[in-house]
Structure 1
Amino acid sequence: MVLEKMDAVTVKNTAGSNFSVVAEPFPSPPVIERPLDKTVGQDLLFGKVWKWLQDDGEQVSSIGLYGMGGVGKTTLLTRINNELLKTRLEFDAVIWVTVSRPANVEKVQQVLFNKLEIGKDKWEDRSEDERAEEIFNVLKTKKFVLLLDDIWERLDLSKVGIPPLNHQDKLKMVFTTRSKQVCQKMESTKSIEVNCLPWEEAFALFQTKVGADTISSHPDIPKLAEMVAKECDGLPLALITTGRAMAGAKAPEEWEKKIEMLKNSPAKFPGTEEDLFRVLAISYDSLPDEAKKSCFLYCSLFPEDYEISQRNLIQLWIGEGFLDEYDNLQEARNQGEEVIKSLQLACLLENGRSRFYVKEKYLKMHDVIREMALWLARKNGKKKNKFVVKDGVESIRAQEVEKWKETQTISLWNTDIEELREPPYFPIMETFLTSCEYIESFPNRLFTNMPVIRVLDLSNNFELKVLPVEIGNLVTLQYLNLSATDIEYLPVEFKNLKRLRCLILNDMYFLVSLPSQIVSSLSSLQLFSMYSTLVRSNFTGDDERRLLEELEQLEHIDDIYIHLTSVSSIQTLLNSHKLQRSTRFLLLFSERMNLLQLSLYIETLHITNCVELQDVKINFEKEVVVYSKFPRHQCLNNLCDVRIDGCGKLLNLTWLICAPSLQFLSVKFCESMEKVIDDERSEVLEIEVDHLGVFSRLTSLTLVMLRKLRSIHERALSFPSLRYIHVYACPSLRKLPFDSNTGVSMKLEKIKGKQEWWDGLEWEDQTIMHNLTPYFQPIEHPRDSSH
């Protein structure tokens, strides 16, 4: 419907209008203009929202604008309000309400009372329900736009007196919130995220606040201005705050001083604390419990722009005790994932770069949000040394280290720690994280000066070769990570770590052995991770078997992540019901293994160079069942990541029909493989394929150097979650399992392979070829397949 202009006072009953009867006009102006500076970088977003407001055909009744604090949501809403005044669309009124916290029905009703000029006799001494009835009676015949700013929780519009959003298409609502979850709870027809500005627009906004006169006052200032603006990472509120602070600064030395302040003490930068951090901190204050707040602050321990492994982060939270209310690690991990979701919905945590080829998820924190979190962790800057985080500092002065006596948390990244050679006593320090490139050893005294240490993460200290025996003094330690170090021996004093719950020893290629009875002495151990260590170190099959036997003795062990290389150690694992229940991540490297039995509990399976492997079976508790005969109601529900590499006798992977949760599948250098799924070998496929959901969650499929591979699946599948396909050196693969009935996944992003392979594919339906061709990207070598 074409929207027509209306008089500001009288609503005309025109042809084409939706109204045959119009109630008394509003005495006050239909739209009240709101103050608004010139906007930068919101044109596309504004255009999309404006189209939704105009287009009745899409039946868009409510629009949710969500995003982190200071990103420009209120600015966008103000622009919508003022544009409604300019265009005079056929709305009887535009009503603006700043809701804030808590979502108070009475407050919203009062705004409507003032706008609608309801008689006092119908308002004073009336109940909330009676006032709602009066508001409803006035609004039910009107066509209006409701603009709600700063919603933090669901607002019950019916209690206010707002007619239903679908009430004869008379109401349009646009609201802003920092939480995507609020959009869901408000049942918005459309939700759109307001993001930070790209660099060009961010710098343009910054320059407008600094002023052209200042920018052009010295030839060095434009470059210095770029350096300041980049510290804001595209966040409009930060750009405005810092830009205003630099207005009139015409000496390069002043800019250089402020840049140093932004890098080292951003809270001291003019306006940052009051105008920026306190505004952003409202999101933190709105988190529902202390556990979520602690988890959020913890993310600031990592360097700027650092991508945090979700699994590692949750393991650290478990070590810190943030998730202690749960009885086992699986429940704690699940809750950790829920915490991450809630932080993301609150726009306090972001997804890291997508890695289609790995199950591992990565997270990151916006630079300004991170600085705000550090400010909060340091008690609004009043206890600077409570939370010490250093990144890329060439040297730390002895005087500064001396101030760390009262610190609870130290996080050092790429920082020279020479001054820790004579460390002070840390009576209350609970967390010590360090990742420094050139550390070869730590001073003995360091580990005697931490009487209450709970979390010690020394991972990625690539030159670290020696661990002092004094580590055995850390009797309060609950989390220890030594991954990606050059440590050769673990001291026998490890036995003293009776409270240790998480021990992570991944990628320790120089580790010679584990002293006997060390692992079995860790009586509180719940998580043990040691993958990619055994295969490259000097561990023997006997060492592996002994390690597994010690793990089996542990009463509380819940999660095992391990890499095995010998048939005897694999058999030890398969013979133990307890070990099978606990193994979440299994990497196999064995040239002699010819049969593999899978546990129902396995989540990640990597098989490398098992050249004799011919068959796979599934172990249901104590009963081993060949996959082609396994019960229909049972399957590998937990398995989501499978990598097969160099298994020359493996003919197919038909057992994958038992893995409905599979997300990542990579098969390489399996020279005998002819089919991924073989219908002829599966007795359940024809009946149960829809029930089992073959490949229904698969997001990434990689097939490399499979010379005999003829088929992925003989029937077409829907692949509803598939995002990435990579095929290289599979000359016999002439068909892909798509047809016109199954269609193409809406999530598909890339298909990579050699051009001649793509050109030689056979298609039963040319429509599918045309639909898939836009996603194809030719490559000449497997290394070109980086995602």
Structure 2
Amino acid sequence: MAYGALVSLAQTVDQILNHDNYSLSHHQRQQITAIHEYVFFLQAFLEHFPDKANNNNNKSLEGQIRYIANQAENTIEYFMWEQRRLLCGIVTSCGGRRPSEEKSVHHYSRLASDLDKLTEKIDSIAQEAMNVKNKYFVIKEIGTVDSSSRLAQSTPKKDVVTERICGESSKLQVIPIVGMGGIGKTTLATNAYQDPLVIENFMIRAWVTVSQDYSPQKVVSSLVDSMKELINTERYRGESDEEKVYKCLKGMKYLIVMDDVWSTEAWDDVRMIFPDENNGSRVVLTTRLLDVAAYVDSSSLLHEMQLMNADQSWDLLRHRVFEQGPLCPLELEGIGKEIAGSCRGLPLAIVVIAGLLSTVSKTRASWEKIAGNVKSAINATKHGQLEKIMSLSYTHLPHHLRPCFLYMGAFPEDQEIHVQKLIRLWVGEGFLKYPNGSKTVEEAAEEYLEDLVKRSLVLVSKRKFNGKIKSCRLHDLMRELCIRKSQQERFLRHAMVKNQRRVCIDQSNLSFLENIYGSTTRTILCLMHSEISSLGCLRHFRFLRVLDLVFAYNHRRMFDSEEVASLPPQVFELFHLRYLAFSYAVEIPRAVSNLQNLQTLIIYLGTKFRYRPSTVRLPSEIWRMPQLRHLICFNFDQLPDPHQESEITRALLNLQTLSRVRNLKCTETIMKMIPNVKKLGIFYSEDKYKQEYHLENLVHLQNLVNLKLTVRANLSFPNKSLNFPQTLKKLSLSGESLPWQSTMMSIGSLPNLQVLKLRNYCGYAWKTSDGGFPELEFLLIESSDLRHWITESDHFPSLKWLLLRHCEHLREIPDAIGEIPTLQLIEVKGGSASLFESAKGIQEEQQSWGNEALQVRCIEFRSQFQSFQFK
């Protein structure tokens, strides 16, 4: 993965050139600066230079770039690690201390020699890249259109597309069909194209397959061939193909299908040859890319294809296997449904496996053999056509997205991938360039993920209320593609092999790590529950960047509540760590400050796989970790008071997430030491000493966007109210002791608040006023004592969703709520019968006024042990 290796190397070089802790001679700085310049050239080469230029004579060029980038990073990181030991005298696991001065001199001279060799190699590769680039622009290769027959896919319903094709609108319309590879876009377009009603409605029909390697000339030429019976050769003699197509279509009602479009340029290059005569002509366009589908006609609704459900999958499989013969025997239905379900709703996979089932005997034993390994069976059939089709999406990916996509193959099959974790891992790996301007690297990563979704490579599992992706997943076959490509490109392995750069562990016992030496290993991911007895072996992996051991547990400590667990000292020798996540330590030593590059620290406690929950204790040295961006512990006790004035000046200026901190003292000093926090979660438990927590100082966090405040103690509030920063967009409050009316007045004035969640927190009455909650779109009230709610429709001018859960004392929803023009949903879960009637009454009243858009959902819990009932 050459591009990802270059981005990572660029970050490492930036760090050593711009960090005061590293002592470089003038010559060394020149050497590393030269490497930096080569990196930028090679990045630009890969970004703007198409893969097809890398012909058979130089296929290895990208592999050479990846190799030399990794070698350069190994050399520089080794120097950083050694110099850290020289300057700080870190005690090693073997008991050694600061090396001698002679060794230091030897270390510096060796670095200079290694850098000279690296610079020569990189210069040679850069020259080769330049030669390839020059050769390409002289030859100017033109790709060909793939007009070969497509693999028969599914037979989805064509009614929706056919209706749009034959619709009444006289204006020329473009109908985009979008979806992942193998989902049936081409088949859907084919069925509509061949529909008798469509044939009858259009005077001219033409089909062109564009494909990935397209050229405008080839596309237009294919259209000419498709319409050759209609084009008078003598009449159009001497005219260009574009003119022939335009004049042939002019005045005619036509249907053009452009299949497998991969870029907006492919549409821009031909759109002008399609005349709009206001006669109901249509262009159908199929693509895997959402951006392309949205671009071709902003006024037209795109048709986004979805995966099949279980019943649809079985119906398709049964139809394909038994279409020419008898009905499916009853004894095969169960195993047949299992096979269909294993295809995870992808029509092409179902069609391929149906073709295999058609060739074997119709017995349960034969089908059970295939069911045992459906994926292998699919990939083995049709000469790997399924893999080839799905691989096209990967081949078309820009270089900067490839490592991000392949990395997702590390997660277990069928697992929902939490986006926040995925993004933090991407950042820790160094896959992303740090953007210019106000955008954070995490925001850039969110855009990367959205791009992968738009390209139909990643499926969205859940979205947040604001539309951002909360969790995602890979189709099983797409995950298999990730794993194959990762192994081919030596990007990530699912087994621990010596000197692999990234390793994803899927074994139940991690003892084998003791026998592995990983001098070049940068990542160890343990994403399934595995037992580990010791982490002493980590001394073999001193260049680790990412260490995720959240699912690793120590069996001896699972039930031992007396022992105070702590991480072994080897962890704090991993100077290059950027991402550290674990789940079996509650006391973090002072040596944590050795991890000067750490960006994410996550400590999980209290699941059924580990000992009972406790409180994580952080040392004051946590303030000496300037790169820390995300600090998440379940739970940790306060933030330690800084011992020295120098620690105050250091501060955690890069910290964005501070989650699950218990009894945080929000002094003005502490708030100024975390000035850029965007997401903050605070939990206040029983307070025996009636301490002052100074929550009024939250207002000093001028970058805070998301605040979750939980209070299970009788806190004292001298000011009788809480004030929040104006930047807040999401606020969650829970706790009966929080002051009600004054706090709600403060919340109502927040100009940017979009989401408000109130749990176990409401007074007996709530009276809102004009000008409040100007941007609030989502309101949840749960388990409250609210009895009377007095409001007007213009008090919540932007409200879209109202959720009331277990509000046992609230008898009715104010009628004015139903008059809010933006309101889309009222959901009532639990509560009194009169509350349900009130919600349904609002819906009926709105329907009587012609408002059919408002949805009302009422979920009644009959008892603690019975499931809910939808009304």
Could you tell me which runs of 5 or more consecutive residues in structure 2 were left unpaired when the two chains were aligned: 1-147, 558-564, 607-611
Report the secondary structure of 1:728's partner residue.
coil
Kept in 2, the 8 Å contact 1:214–1:249? The answer is no
Match of 2:46 in 1: none
Q: Deviations over 1:704-737 (max 9, x none)?
A: 3233552366745344542745461242664154
Cα distance, 1:659–1:165 mapped onto 2, change above 3 Å: farther
C-alpha separation in 2, matches of 1:702 and 1:58: 49
Q: Which amino acid in the other structure matches residue 487 of structure 1?
A: A
Match of 2:536 in 1: 444
* Sequence identity percentage: 18
- Is residue 2:569 matched to residue 1:469? yes
Match of 2:595 in 1: 497
Report the secondary structure of 1:615's partner residue.
coil
C-alpha separation in 2, matches of 1:547 and 1:361: 40
Report the secondary structure of 1:89's partner residue.
helix
Cα distance, 1:556–1:583 mapped onto 2, change above 3 Å: same
C-alpha separation in 1, matches of 2:150 and 2:381: 20
Match of 2:212 in 1: 101
Counting matched residue pairs gives 688
Specify which of 38, 56, 63 is matched with residue 168 of structure 2. 56
Please show how residues 738-777 of structure 1 align to structure 2 within 5 Å.
738-740=817-819, 742-743=820-821, 745-746=823-824, 748=825, 750-754=827-831, 755-759=833-837, 767-768=845-846, 775-777=856-858
Match of 2:109 in 1: none
Report the secondary structure of 1:581's partner residue.
coil
Match of 1:486 in 2: 584
Kept in 2, the 8 Å contact 1:724–1:751? The answer is yes
Kept in 2, the 8 Å contact 1:437–1:463? The answer is no
Q: Which amino acid in the other structure matches residue 589 of structure 1?
A: Y
- The structural deviation recorded for 1:325 is 3.0
- Is residue 2:684 matched to residue 1:605? no
Instruction: Name which of structure 1's ranges 550-559 and 211-220 shifts more when overlaid on structure 2.
Output: 211-220
Report the secondary structure of 1:149's partner residue.
strand
Q: Which amino acid in the other structure matches residue 468 of structure 1?
A: P
- Is residue 2:807 matched to residue 1:717? no
- The structural deviation recorded for 1:72 is 0.5
Cα distance, 1:219–1:673 mapped onto 2, change above 3 Å: closer
C-alpha separation in 1, matches of 2:840 and 2:620: 60
Specify which of 632, 637, 659 is matched with residue 530 of structure 1. 632
Match of 2:753 in 1: 662
- The structural deviation recorded for 1:105 is 2.0
Aligned CA RMSD, in angstroms, stands at 4.1
Match of 2:282 in 1: 172
Kept in 2, the 8 Å contact 1:328–1:558? The answer is no
- The structural deviation recorded for 1:456 is 0.8
- Is residue 2:738 matched to residue 1:643? no
Cα distance, 1:550–1:710 mapped onto 2, change above 3 Å: farther
Q: Which amino acid in the other structure matches residue 625 of structure 2?
A: L
Match of 1:320 in 2: 429
Cα distance, 1:554–1:72 mapped onto 2, change above 3 Å: same
Q: Deviations over 1:468-520 (max 9, x none)?
A: 222123222211112xx232333444343232222223557755554635423
Please show how residues 366-405 of structure 1 align to structure 2 within 5 Å.
366-379=475-488, 387-389=492-494, 404-405=497-498
Match of 2:340 in 1: 229
Kept in 2, the 8 Å contact 1:320–1:455? The answer is yes
Kept in 2, the 8 Å contact 1:489–1:511? The answer is no
Match of 1:728 in 2: 807
Q: Which amino acid in the other structure matches residue 734 of structure 2?
A: I
Match of 1:520 in 2: 623
Kept in 2, the 8 Å contact 1:215–1:222? The answer is no
C-alpha separation in 1, matches of 2:731 and 2:671: 23
Specify which of 631, 647, 650 is matched with residue 553 of structure 1. 650
Q: Which amino acid in the other structure matches residue 430 of structure 2?
A: G
C-alpha separation in 1, matches of 2:371 and 2:597: 45
Kept in 1, the 8 Å contact 2:169–2:280? The answer is no
Match of 1:10 in 2: none
Cα distance, 1:662–1:532 mapped onto 2, change above 3 Å: farther
C-alpha separation in 1, matches of 2:546 and 2:172: 50
Please show how residues 556-595 of structure 1 align to structure 2 within 5 Å.
557-566=654-663, 569-572=665-668, 576-589=671-684, 593=693, 595=695
- The structural deviation recorded for 1:96 is 0.7
Match of 2:128 in 1: none
- The structural deviation recorded for 1:232 is 1.1
- The structural deviation recorded for 1:322 is 0.9
Cα distance, 1:306–1:666 mapped onto 2, change above 3 Å: same
C-alpha separation in 2, matches of 1:655 and 1:164: 58
Report the secondary structure of 1:617's partner residue.
coil
Report the secondary structure of 1:731's partner residue.
coil
TM (norm. structure 1) is: 0.77
Kept in 2, the 8 Å contact 1:148–1:174? The answer is yes
- The structural deviation recorded for 1:273 is 7.2
- The structural deviation recorded for 1:194 is 1.3
Cα distance, 1:113–1:355 mapped onto 2, change above 3 Å: closer
Specify which of 273, 296, 302 is matched with residue 186 of structure 1. 296
Q: Which amino acid in the other structure matches residue 207 of structure 2?
A: W
Kept in 1, the 8 Å contact 2:624–2:650? The answer is no
C-alpha separation in 2, matches of 1:99 and 1:148: 6
Cα distance, 1:671–1:545 mapped onto 2, change above 3 Å: farther
Q: Which amino acid in the other structure matches residue 473 of structure 2?
A: K
Report the secondary structure of 2:256's partner residue.
strand
Q: Which amino acid in the other structure matches residue 677 of structure 2?
A: S
- The structural deviation recorded for 1:410 is 2.3
Q: Deviations over 1:236-269 (max 9, x none)?
A: 1111222323433347666555444446xx4894
Cα distance, 1:74–1:703 mapped onto 2, change above 3 Å: same
Match of 2:780 in 1: 701
Match of 1:17 in 2: none
Kept in 2, the 8 Å contact 1:502–1:528? The answer is yes
Cα distance, 1:342–1:721 mapped onto 2, change above 3 Å: farther
Q: Which amino acid in the other structure matches residue 480 of structure 1?
A: L
- Is residue 2:420 matched to residue 1:311? yes
Match of 1:339 in 2: 448
Q: Which amino acid in the other structure matches residue 408 of structure 1?
A: R
Cα distance, 1:103–1:565 mapped onto 2, change above 3 Å: same
C-alpha separation in 1, matches of 2:836 and 2:190: 51
Match of 2:263 in 1: 153
Q: Which amino acid in the other structure matches residue 526 of structure 1?
A: L
Report the secondary structure of 2:801's partner residue.
coil
Question: Larger helix proportion, structure 1 or 2?
Answer: 2
Instruction: Name which of structure 1's ranges 601-610 and 550-559 shifts more when overlaid on structure 2.
Output: 550-559
Match of 1:245 in 2: 356
Please show how residues 66-145 of structure 1 align to structure 2 within 5 Å.
66-84=178-196, 88-114=199-225, 115-116=227-228, 117-118=230-231, 131-145=241-255
C-alpha separation in 1, matches of 2:624 and 2:379: 51
C-alpha separation in 2, matches of 1:118 and 1:664: 61
Report the secondary structure of 2:722's partner residue.
strand
C-alpha separation in 2, matches of 1:715 and 1:154: 43
Q: Deviations over 1:60-119 (max 9, x none)?
A: 7221110000000100111111114x6642321111111112453212221232315545
C-alpha separation in 2, matches of 1:618 and 1:452: 42
Kept in 2, the 8 Å contact 1:710–1:732? The answer is no
Specify which of 610, 617, 635 is matched with residue 723 of structure 2. 617
Q: Which amino acid in the other structure matches residue 493 of structure 2?
A: V
Could you tell me which runs of 5 or more consecutive residues in structure 1 were left unpaired when the two chains were aligned: 1-33, 390-399, 620-634, 680-684
Specify which of 274, 283, 296 is matched with residue 384 of structure 2. 274
Cα distance, 1:602–1:711 mapped onto 2, change above 3 Å: farther
- The structural deviation recorded for 1:172 is 0.8
Cα distance, 1:776–1:235 mapped onto 2, change above 3 Å: closer
Q: Which amino acid in the other structure matches residue 602 of structure 1?
A: L
